[in-house]
Structure 1
Amino acid sequence: MKKVLSSVIALSMALFLAVGCAAGGSAPKDEDNGAANAADSASVEASLDQTGAGAETKTLRIIGTSDLHGKFLPWDYALNAEDTSGSVAQLSTALKEYRTDDTLLFDAGDTIQDNYSDIFVGEDDVHPMIQAINALKYDVWTVGNHEFNYGMDVVKKTIGDLECATLGGNVYDENGEPIADGYTIIEKNGIRVAVIGMVTPNITRWDSVNLADCMVTDPLEETRKIIDSIKGQYDVLVGVYHMGIDDEYDVPNSGVEDILKECPEFDVMLASHAHALVEGETINGTLVVMNTEMAKTFSVIDLTLEKNGDGYKVADKTSKSVETKDYEADPELVELLSKYDEQAKNDANSVIGKLVGDQLSPVNEIEEIPTAQIEDTALIDLINDVQLHYTGAKVSAAALFTAGANMYPGDIKKCDTALIYKYTNTLYKLHMTGAQLKKYMEWSAKYFNTFKPGDLTISFNPDVRAYNFDMFAGVNYEINISKEPGSRIENLTWPDGTPVRDDDEFDIAVNNYRASSHLLTPGEVYEEGEELPKLVEIDVKGDIGGVRELIGDYITNVKKGQIKPECDDNWKITGYEWDKDLREKAVTQLKNKEIEIPCSEDGRTPNVKAITEKDLK
């Protein structure tokens, strides 16, 4: 009997694998395949004991998207150019190929921000991205962190305009009511699918003012409560979380790995937020997937379920990622959203001034290394000049958000301000001391890898995002990259040459993200218990808008519609020295693609390793 049973088990396992291959997916990676296979065998044997070799099976397909970031059509409104790398319209076409009668469609948020789509925020009309979500008939949508950028009224309107189940179970409004459900249960093809949705708790860092009257709770605690309360009510448990895999800022339970370690009941987890492609990996028995940004990819998860008493249990699961770049835009969706496309293009192309002379940032000597991050440029000086002008502060700090950001001689269009300042940040004024400034600057200077003998290029720390390298105006300073992080800022003086003293006090202009995430809360810059900078004013000149709108107003009204490149060269990088001939050889070989500069594993930080003398061909 045992021999016969073993044969049946082997046959059943082969059938399950065949189903996975037929679905075109790849089996998820697991740290312990042996343990997983043993568990699967035990599961199958238990199932056969109850139902026999002819157990009833069903299939369920889940398609997951996230971080669509305003890309409703294949057009980059900031660049004012076609961009077919991905869009919701292309996704719509692809879904017609991949959607089946037993398919559920989920999205994990960050929907209405970026790609110029913020011009539609606050209008009475339904945001075009939300219209697209409704047109594609999503089943579930979880709120993302960027939805909170515009205030709670916008969050509530977005949720109200959606025609699918909306989730966000760890955010409570000023009345103590959840802004959205924590879970929903959907029946599909006779299968009960429970879906839980949470957003990263770090929204309190980025949008603390917008969330001042709200309560953001621990997503693990909320998840555990929900799972315990719905026990026995579902066959499949899916997480749609606006969180990456790893914790951020060392905040416990801000990554799905922490959730899954404590909640092994999940069958599938759709992670997001980090814009990192995860085709399928297993964490504590749960299949985890993640997509990149702007509808460039979507996840296809295929589940095979077996009859198990009065319900079903997952017997096999596979996943794969699909790119949308090779799909044409769906003409029906293009037609539906055509008026918004026209509105965005007209707004983006309105002329607000003129740039005379040269471009704001010099041409990159090496394509992968933005000049605006290794030397002072008129580009960053313009942003800092704007922030200094409107706040009246003594010091300002700004970052390069986009590697290709620049402005060229000729007419300045409104979209050009979005190109040089990607995010919809507002302007804050803080009060700090010289000691606090030095600590802030040292934190920023961690962006660079320590220069080593034999290096022929300056490289960036793969663990630091480009938008976390701030460049400062109102002071003179040097960054010595031969020193270890924490000891790099040298010759820090005021413009008249006077050293910046620890007890000096002054105002500094920064954006709301930097203020809320790093300067007004302990964490990466200041330790718990340290005195923090003080908030002086939020949303400076908010009647005009955020930093991007202030740049436009500065060009049009302060500079009377005409600017020219102005760079005061108040900072520089020191501590590097290389052989000039070998350096030229390295530059040539990089241009000829004979050697390459790597980027970080998640693709979000460029130039993470220096080219060395040993790398030369």
Structure 2
Amino acid sequence: MLQSDDTLHLRLLQTTDLHMRLLSYDYFADRPAPQGGLARLAPLITEARAEAANCLLLDNGDFLQGTPMGDLFADPDVIDSTGIHPMIAAMNALGFDAATLGNHEFNYGLPTLDRALRDAAFPVVAGNITRPGGPSLPPWMILPLTATDTTGRPHTLRIGLIGLAPPQITAWDRAMLNGAIRMQGICDAARAHIPTMRAQGADLIIALAHTGIGDARDRPDLENAAVPLAAIDGIDAILCGHQHQTFPGPRFQGLDHVDTRTSTIHGKPAMMPGFWGSHLGVMDLTLRRGADGAWRIGDHTVALRTAPDAAHGTVPDDPTVQRAVSAAHSATLTHIRQPVGHTTAPLHSYFTLIADDAAVQLVAEAQRARTAELLQGRPHADLPLLSAAAPFKVGGQAGPDFYSDVPAGPLSRRNLADLYLFPNTLQAVEVTGAQLHDWLERAAGLYCQITPGRPDQTLRNPDFPAYNFDVICGLRYRIDLSQPPRFAIDGTLPDPAVHRVTDITHDGRAIRPDDRFVVATNSYRIGSSLMAPLGQLPVALDTRERIRDVLLRHIARTGTITPPRRPVWRFAAMPPGTSALFDTGPGAAAYLDGPHLPPLERLGPTPQGFMRLRLHL
């Protein structure tokens, strides 16, 4: 019998951006690690479920890529040899109710994705991804849940789940996808599907949105679209991700239509529980059914429960996850320990944002050498060949241990994974001198503007990802921090007269705007927002060779390498008394006497565990 005062409580548990973090083990360093990803979240999931009568466990995407285990199991034959993908095995064991896809699910191509999902015991929805001529995942589903209200009466609650992902997937993984999927704008897809979901009887619609919180203005190519998505009528709550941030959290204070105090966007409950299993999102919804029979959200609370730290071995890995992935863990250890060569000098990323860096240059040199081989006999072979590479592990929100640190001596596969994290493929583009200048200007947006003569200013813009700091080897140039960035982070050009990258030369000659070059780079960079201001660049080389494999062959060819550290860039000199604060990993202490470094002064640790240095400019 319908009663207008029916009330029930529904709990939504969310994981996001797990990136193949399963156990408390760092495969890049080949040692146990404090943070254990899903193995650390599992006890929190069990506890949170026990507290609530009605509960769903949902994942928000980017679960299949991110560690050497993910790379190893990118081969469908390897999955078949163990019977099931380790992440899917763990998610099945923990009883996930549904999931959506993130952009990194496509890094290895569709055969890997299809093989991994074949064994999923939970549905996967993808509302703005279609595969013309092939099997597509359902855009949405209605999940019936037998829920008890506050008096103990059962009800069948029909929960609509729609999955949404960044439309840039087809650009970022163009080489791997080769036109096999089509992307629709996040909000366009939601507006198309929501009315049908309601018509099919959804009592509540939850957006599993692998997208971040950003611009309030909608457009079809918007990557972080949670704000306009929340404005769409019919969506009741949004589970966000992709940005590797926490919501509620201070990062999003002051954004239009975003309330960090109530954890709402456009007044609707929303959450984003970090990355790598750092947090479990817990959203509690109080649903009330009116006289018309419709369930509506009354009150809500959102909490992010922090995963316990396994430091000093005081917190064991969850046995459910351990059992599910033990064979995959052993196979991964065998794989990463395979020798590939030797290095005569250490390779690390502690100073890559303030000085020429051997690790970045090694990647760039491997890209350049392979591109030169492949361009032989082609029209672009006669153009000057440059190579662009960027650092990946440089601390930031991932913490003070998130740095590459490969000692001199033997090199194994894990070291190569440490130096190049992602399964990007080798590409090359043709650019003019003017476009090359703007490419460098975009990369130099990493830095804040520095006032000449002032001490201890902030050096790094925390909103600019370090993986967009391309260093273009084969050039010489300076970065003048007294000037503002030429481009805003979104690629807009506030003042066309501004330049902070100066004195760009190639082979000792200043480049001219109409000069032509080929630049070896990676598949992600060509489709990234960093390149948008440069316009459409002619593709000189399009391969499916992964950069890490290119690097492996480059090292194996010589056996013992001497890492390059050629002069490429430096900061322009500023008046005496000008300094900036630079935070790096504490492991940098072993390399502070390097002759290639600018003047540095050690100040001590930060509250977050970084080592703070004063950089004299």
TM range (shorter): 0.7 to 0.9
The reply to whether residue 169 of structure 1 matches residue 124 of structure 2 is no
Cα distance 1:159–1:110, how it changes in 2: closer, same or farther (>3 A)?
A: same
**TM-score (norm. length: structure 2):** 0.79
The structure 2 residue matched to 1:224, chosen from 187, 191, 195, is 191
Native 8 Å contact 1:104 1:139 kept in 2: yes
Give the gaps of 5 or more residues in structure 2.
148-154, 249-261, 310-314, 373-383, 395-402, 487-498, 583-598
The structure 2 residue matched to 1:97, chosen from 42, 47, 65, is 47
Native 8 Å contact 1:291 1:298 kept in 2: yes
Residue 90 of structure 1 and its aligned partner are, at CA, apart by: 2.0
Residue 250 of structure 1 and its aligned partner are, at CA, apart by: 8.5
The reply to whether residue 319 of structure 1 matches residue 289 of structure 2 is no
Residue 577 of structure 1 and its aligned partner are, at CA, apart by: 3.6
AA in 2 matched with 1:317: H
Counterpart for residue 192 of structure 1: 158
* SS in structure 1 of the partner of residue 509 of structure 2: coil
Native 8 Å contact 1:130 1:158 kept in 2: yes
Q: Distance in 1 between matches of 2:123 and 2:104?
A: 19
Q: Distance in 2 between matches of 1:407 and 1:398?
A: 18
Counterpart for residue 419 of structure 1: 418
By percentage of residues, which structure has more strand?
2
Cα distance 1:361–1:304, how it changes in 2: closer, same or farther (>3 A)?
A: closer
Cα distance 1:612–1:575, how it changes in 2: closer, same or farther (>3 A)?
A: closer
The reply to whether residue 111 of structure 1 matches residue 111 of structure 2 is no
Residue 272 of structure 1 and its aligned partner are, at CA, apart by: 0.5
AA in 1 matched with 2:337: N
Counterpart for residue 33 of structure 1: none
The reply to whether residue 335 of structure 1 matches residue 323 of structure 2 is yes
The reply to whether residue 239 of structure 1 matches residue 207 of structure 2 is yes
Native 8 Å contact 2:57 2:98 kept in 1: yes
The reply to whether residue 266 of structure 1 matches residue 235 of structure 2 is yes
AA in 2 matched with 1:402: K
AA in 2 matched with 1:212: G
Counterpart for residue 244 of structure 2: 275
* SS in structure 2 of the partner of residue 298 of structure 1: strand
**TM-score (norm. length: structure 1):** 0.79
1:19-98 equivalences under 5 Å are 55-98=5-48
Residue 113 of structure 1 and its aligned partner are, at CA, apart by: 0.3
AA in 2 matched with 1:508: V
The reply to whether residue 359 of structure 1 matches residue 341 of structure 2 is no
Native 8 Å contact 1:379 1:406 kept in 2: no
Flag the structure with larger Rg.
1
Cα distance 1:314–1:383, how it changes in 2: closer, same or farther (>3 A)?
A: same
The reply to whether residue 505 of structure 1 matches residue 474 of structure 2 is no
Residue 573 of structure 1 and its aligned partner are, at CA, apart by: 1.2
Native 8 Å contact 1:256 1:271 kept in 2: no
AA in 1 matched with 2:364: N
Offset from partner CA, 1:99-147 (integer Å, 9 cap, x none): 1442111001101101111110122422211111111111111011001
Cα distance 1:244–1:478, how it changes in 2: closer, same or farther (>3 A)?
A: same
Native 8 Å contact 1:459 1:610 kept in 2: no
Native 8 Å contact 1:260 1:286 kept in 2: no
Counterpart for residue 5 of structure 1: none
The reply to whether residue 384 of structure 1 matches residue 349 of structure 2 is no
| More off after superposition, 412-421 vs 240-249 | 240-249
Cα distance 1:547–1:267, how it changes in 2: closer, same or farther (>3 A)?
A: same
* SS in structure 1 of the partner of residue 603 of structure 2: helix
* SS in structure 2 of the partner of residue 442 of structure 1: helix
Cα distance 1:501–1:192, how it changes in 2: closer, same or farther (>3 A)?
A: same
Residue 70 of structure 1 and its aligned partner are, at CA, apart by: 0.5
Q: Distance in 2 between matches of 1:426 and 1:444?
A: 20
Offset from partner CA, 1:7-56 (integer Å, 9 cap, x none): xxxxxxxxxxxxxxxxxxxxxxxxxxxxxxxxxxxxxxxxxxx957xx23
Offset from partner CA, 1:185-216 (integer Å, 9 cap, x none): 33231222111211111213312331523221
Residue 295 of structure 1 and its aligned partner are, at CA, apart by: 1.0
Native 8 Å contact 1:156 1:179 kept in 2: no
Cα RMSD over matched residues?
A: 3.0
AA in 1 matched with 2:123: A
Cα distance 1:575–1:269, how it changes in 2: closer, same or farther (>3 A)?
A: same
Q: Which runs of 4+ in 1 moved over 4 A?
A: 247-253, 580-584, 586-589, 596-599, 609-613
Q: How many residues align?
A: 530
* SS in structure 1 of the partner of residue 107 of structure 2: helix
AA in 1 matched with 2:174: S
AA in 1 matched with 2:604: K
Offset from partner CA, 1:120-177 (integer Å, 9 cap, x none): 0122422211111111111111011001111222233333332211111111113276
Native 8 Å contact 1:143 1:199 kept in 2: yes
Counterpart for residue 3 of structure 1: none
Counterpart for residue 591 of structure 1: 604
Q: Distance in 1 between matches of 2:580 and 2:138?
A: 59
Offset from partner CA, 1:263-297 (integer Å, 9 cap, x none): 14333210010111114611122101001111111
Residue 457 of structure 1 and its aligned partner are, at CA, apart by: 5.6
Counterpart for residue 298 of structure 1: 280
Cα distance 1:432–1:119, how it changes in 2: closer, same or farther (>3 A)?
A: same
* SS in structure 2 of the partner of residue 335 of structure 1: helix
* SS in structure 1 of the partner of residue 461 of structure 2: coil
The reply to whether residue 205 of structure 1 matches residue 198 of structure 2 is no
* SS in structure 2 of the partner of residue 193 of structure 1: strand
1:362-511 equivalences under 5 Å are 370-392=350-372, 394-403=385-394, 404-453=403-452, 454-456=454-456, 459-486=459-486, 487-495=499-507, 497-511=508-522
Counterpart for residue 377 of structure 2: none
Native 8 Å contact 1:260 1:284 kept in 2: no
Q: Distance in 1 between matches of 2:58 and 2:171?
A: 26
Residue 97 of structure 1 and its aligned partner are, at CA, apart by: 1.2
The structure 1 residue matched to 2:289, chosen from 292, 307, 311, is 307
Q: Distance in 1 between matches of 2:347 and 2:29?
A: 16
Q: Distance in 1 between matches of 2:165 and 2:579?
A: 52
Offset from partner CA, 1:373-394 (integer Å, 9 cap, x none): 1111222211111111100171
Q: Distance in 1 between matches of 2:286 and 2:615?
A: 48
Counterpart for residue 533 of structure 1: 537
Native 8 Å contact 1:201 1:254 kept in 2: yes
Q: Distance in 1 between matches of 2:286 and 2:107?
A: 40
Residue 611 of structure 1 and its aligned partner are, at CA, apart by: 8.8
The structure 1 residue matched to 2:88, chosen from 118, 130, 133, is 130
Residue 590 of structure 1 and its aligned partner are, at CA, apart by: 2.7
AA in 1 matched with 2:131: D
Q: Distance in 1 between matches of 2:469 and 2:609?
A: 19
Offset from partner CA, 1:378-437 (integer Å, 9 cap, x none): 222111111111001710110011111232111112101111111111110112222221
* SS in structure 2 of the partner of residue 223 of structure 1: helix
Counterpart for residue 155 of structure 1: 113
Native 8 Å contact 2:389 2:472 kept in 1: yes
Q: Distance in 2 between matches of 1:484 and 1:313?
A: 49
Q: Distance in 2 between matches of 1:449 and 1:461?
A: 6
* SS in structure 2 of the partner of residue 192 of structure 1: strand
| More off after superposition, 421-430 vs 303-312 | 303-312
AA in 2 matched with 1:75: Y
* SS in structure 1 of the partner of residue 406 of structure 2: coil
AA in 2 matched with 1:343: A
Native 8 Å contact 1:451 1:575 kept in 2: no
| More off after superposition, 253-262 vs 160-169 | 253-262
Q: Distance in 2 between matches of 1:244 and 1:582?
A: 30
The reply to whether residue 567 of structure 1 matches residue 554 of structure 2 is no
Native 8 Å contact 1:235 1:311 kept in 2: yes
Give the gaps of 5 or more residues in structure 1.
1-49, 363-369, 600-605
